[in-house]
Amino acid sequence: MKLTDYLNNPTYGSTRDGFGVGLKDLGGQNVQVIVLCADLSESTRVNWFKEAFPDRYLEMGVAEENMIGIAAGLALAGKIPYAISYSTFVVNNALGPIRSSVCYTNTNVKIVGGHAGFSAGPDGATHQALEDIATMRVLPNMKVIVPCDQEESRKATIAISKEVGPYYLRVGKFQSLNITTKETPFEIGKATTLKDGSDLTIIACGSMVAECLTVAHKLEKDYSIEVINMHTIKPLDYESILKSVKKTGAVLTVEEHQKAGGLGSAVAEFLSQPALTRLKNSIPMKIIGVDDSFGESGTVKELLEKHKLTAIYITKEIDILMTR
Amino acid sequence: MLGQNNMLAQEISNLAIEIRENLIKMLLEAGSGHPAGALGMADVLATLYFDVLKHDPSNPTWEERDRVVLSNGHICPGFYATLAEAGYFPKSELMSLRKIDSRLQGHPHYNLEIGIENTSGPLGQALSQAIGMATAFKLDQKPNRVYCLMSDGEQQEGQNWEAFMYAGDRRLNNLTVLIDRNNIQISGYTEDVMPLQPFKHKLEAFRWNVLDIDGHNIEAIIDACHQAQAIQEQPTAIICNTIPGKDVDFMENLPYWHGKPPSKKEAAEAIDELEELEEENLAQSKI
C-alpha cells in the first residue's frame, strides 16, 4: 500500500478488534492458548475467542490480581495464557503479581491491556491508561508491544504466542487510520520505517503513527521527514534509530502516554549515551506525550486535542526542531 | 520415587527434627531469616515429601509429579532443608542460604532444577498460581495434584480471597491447601493484628472442604491429604494447627521469633534440644 492510498481512501479500525481477530485465529492454531478475562470480555473483544473455544476461556470476575496469578500458574504447567482487562486495571491493580509471579519467575504470560491511552474517553481518567508503557517496560523480562493499527495488532497478538516469556500488548478502542496491510512485515523488536526522509526522524507508536505519517506527508514540500513505527518499545530497535538519526540529525517522538517513562524516554535513554550510540554530537530531540497529567471525560478526539497530540501540535514541534 | 506410604510416622517425625536442626544451622550461618514458621511447618513438609507426594527428586521436571506451591516464602529455610533431605540437591548447599550467587534465595525463586515450583515472598500470591496449575491439569485431564502451603497471617492479603472464591466455584478437587495456623505474624498475634476467626467458617462459605488438624501429628496430616484426594466436588483446605518455633523451647509461641535468626549461643541451645529429642525418638522407636 502506498502512502497516498490510505490518505486518499482512508479506512479505520481499532487495535482491540485486531487483537480480537488475532486471538480467535490463534485459538484455532494452538490448543495451549488459554484466555483469562476480568469481566470485560465484550469490550476487549475476547468474546470472539470465548464463543469459538469456550473450554479454553476462563472468566475471572473482577479480580485482576488473581487473574495474573492464575495465568502464571497455567504457564508454569505449560499453557500459553493471555490475561486481559482494561490496561489501567490489569497493570495497576495486579502490579505485584505481574512483578513476582510473571516477570521475576519469567513465566510465559501474555498480558493484554485494553482501552489504553485515551481510548476509554468518556469513562474518564480512572479508566484511561497513560502510564502503562512506563510501568511495564521497567520490569526485567517483560517485553512491550504497542501496535499502530488493527492489522498490526492482529499480527502482534499471534507473534507474541510464538515467543516464550512475559509480554505486554497495548491495545485501544479508538478507530484510527489503517496504515498497514497483511503484506506489511511485522517482526518483534524490528521497527518499520513507513516513510523515508532526510531532515528529521519521527518515532511514534500506537495511534500516533498514523497521525505522524499524515503530518509528514502534508509537510513533504517543506521537509523530508522519516517516520518510524516503533511497535516494540522493549526490546527497543537501537539499530533502526541509529541508522535514521545518523541521516537526519534530529528526532521527535510521539506517543499517547505520559512523556515520562514511555517511548520517548526509551529513545532518549539510548541516544543520550554516546558509549552506546558512538555518535560524536548529541541529537536534538523532542518528546511529545501527555505532560504529567491525568485525562478526564471527553471524546478521544477532544482529549487528544486538549493534550496536544494532534497534527497541528506535532507540526509546531517539527517547525521548532527544523529551525535548530 | 519417594514417599507413597512406605515410611513410618515415627521416621517422618524424626526427619522433621533433622529438618529443624538444619534450618537452625542455616539461619545462624545466614545471620537473618525466619525460624518460627519454618520450625512449625517441618512436620507438614516432611510428611508431604516423604509420604503424600508423587515426585522424584532425581527427575525434578517429571511430567507426572505433584506440585508443591509455597506461598509464605519466608519459611523457605524449612522448605530448602526438606528439599535437600529428599535429595533435590546436596545438603552442603544449605549453608549458602541468603548468600550471593546462591540458588537458595532469601525468599524462593522458581527453579525446577532444585524442586522450587514457584517464586514466593510477597504474601498472598501463590494460591492463584496453584489454581492455575490445577486448572491446567484439569484441562489436560491429568491426575497430577497441587499442594499449596500458606500461612495464617498472609490470609490478610486480598488476592487470597479472590483465589478462594474462584477455586471454590470451579470445583478444583485436585487442589489441596495446607494452612499453617500458628497464630503469629511479624507484629504480634494474628488475632490482635487482624483477626482471622471464624477462619474455618469463612473458607466453608467460599465453598471449600475444610479440615482442621494438629499440624504436628504425622498420621493426621496423611489422613487429611487422603481425605482431600477422595473429595470429588471441592478443593480442600487443611488448617494445620501448629506451634510456631516448635521443638525449640525458647522460641515456641512467640511472635518475636517470626523473623529473627538465633545467636550462636541460642542456636547451640536449640541444636542440643533437637538432638536430645531425636535421640529420645530413636530410643522410643526401638522399644
pLDDT in tens, A203-257: 999 999 999 999 999 999 999 999 999 999 999 999 999 999 999 999 999 999 9
Q: Could you report the per-residue pLDDT of A54-113, keeping only the tens digit for each? A: 999 999 999 999 999 999 999 999 999 999 999 999 999 999 999 999 999 999 999 999
pLDDT for the residue B282? 83
Q: Output the domain CATH number for residue B230.
A: 3.40.50.970
Going B138 to B141 to B144 to B145, the CA torsion angle's sign is positive
Mutation target among B144, B160, B166 for the A interface, most CBs of A within 10 A: B166
Q: Provide the mean pLDDT of chain B.
A: 96
Q: A99, exposed or middle or buried, with CB in 10 Å at 0-12, 13-18, 19+? A: buried
* B5 CA: distance to closest CA in chain A (Å): 26
Helix (H, G, I), strand (E, B) or coil at A86: strand
pLDDT for the residue B281? 86
Is residue B254 predicted with pLDDT exceeding 50?
yes
Inter-chain touch A56–B125, beta carbons under 8 Å: no
Is residue A5 predicted with pLDDT exceeding 90?
no
* B130 CA: distance to closest CA in chain A (Å): 6
Q: Could you report the per-residue pLDDT of A33-58, keeping only the tens digit for each? A: 999 999 999 999 999 999 999 999 99
Write the residue in B127, B132, B162 that is nearest to A63 by C-beta.
B162
B5 pLDDT band, cuts 50/70/90, is: low
Q: Looking at domain A11-177, which of 3.30.460.80, 3.90.1180.10, 3.40.50.970, 1.10.760.10 is its CATH number?
A: 3.40.50.970
Its CATH class, for the domain covering A192-322, is alpha beta
Question: Predicted ipTM?
Answer: 0.96
Helix (H, G, I), strand (E, B) or coil at A110: strand
Write the residue in B129, B137, B158 that is nearest to A101 by C-beta.
B129
Residues of chain A within CATH 3.40.50.970 domain(s) are 11-177
C-alpha cell at A96: 505485584
pLDDT for the residue A259? 98
pLDDT for the residue B3? 46
Mutation target among B66, B137, B139 for the A interface, most CBs of A within 10 A: B139
Specify which residues B146 forms β-bridges with. B67, B175
Contact B145, B107 (CB under 8 A): no
Residue B17 in any domain: the answer is yes
Residues of chain A within CATH 3.40.50.920 domain(s) are 192-322
Q: Could you report the per-residue pLDDT of B255-277, keeping only the tens digit for each? A: 999 999 999 999 999 999 999 99
pLDDT for the residue B56? 98
Write the residue in B67, B121, B158 that is nearest to A100 by C-beta.
B121
Inter-chain touch B132–A73, beta carbons under 8 Å: yes
Q: Give CA separation, B150 vs A74, B136, B257, in Å.
A: 19, 21, 18
| Residues of chain A with C-beta less than 8 angstroms from the C-beta of B119 | 100-101, 104-105
Q: Give CA separation, A259 vs A91, A286, A293, B200, in Å.
A: 18, 10, 10, 50
State the CB neighbour count (10 A cutoff) for residue A269: 11
Inter-chain touch A55–B132, beta carbons under 8 Å: no
Place of cell 471525560: A297
Q: How many domains does chain B have?
A: 1
What range does the domain containing B41 cover? Answer: 9-286
Inter-chain touch B117–A60, beta carbons under 8 Å: no
> Which position has the higher pLDDT, B2 or A58?
A58
* B284 CA: distance to closest CA in chain A (Å): 43
Contact A34, A79 (CB under 8 A): yes
Dihedral pair phi/psi, residue B180, rounded to 5°: -80, 100
For chain B, what is the radius of gyration of the CA atoms?
A: 18
**Residue A99's closest chain B neighbor by CA?**
B122
Residue B167 in any domain: the answer is yes
Q: Can you give the pTM of this predicted structure?
A: 0.96
Over range A260-272, report the average pLDDT.
98
Q: Could you report the per-residue pLDDT of B198-229, keeping only the tens digit for each? A: 999 999 999 999 999 999 999 999 999 999 99
Q: Provide the mean pLDDT of chain A.
A: 96
pLDDT for the residue B128? 98
Cβ contacts from A onto B, under 8 A: 103
Smallest CA-to-CA distance from B145 within B240, B58, B230, B239 is with: B230
| Residues of chain B with C-beta less than 8 angstroms from the C-beta of A61 | 162, 165-166
DSSP labels for B51-73? Answer: II----TTSTT-TT--EEEESSG
Contact A204, A255 (CB under 8 A): yes
**Residue A80's closest chain B neighbor by CA?**
B136
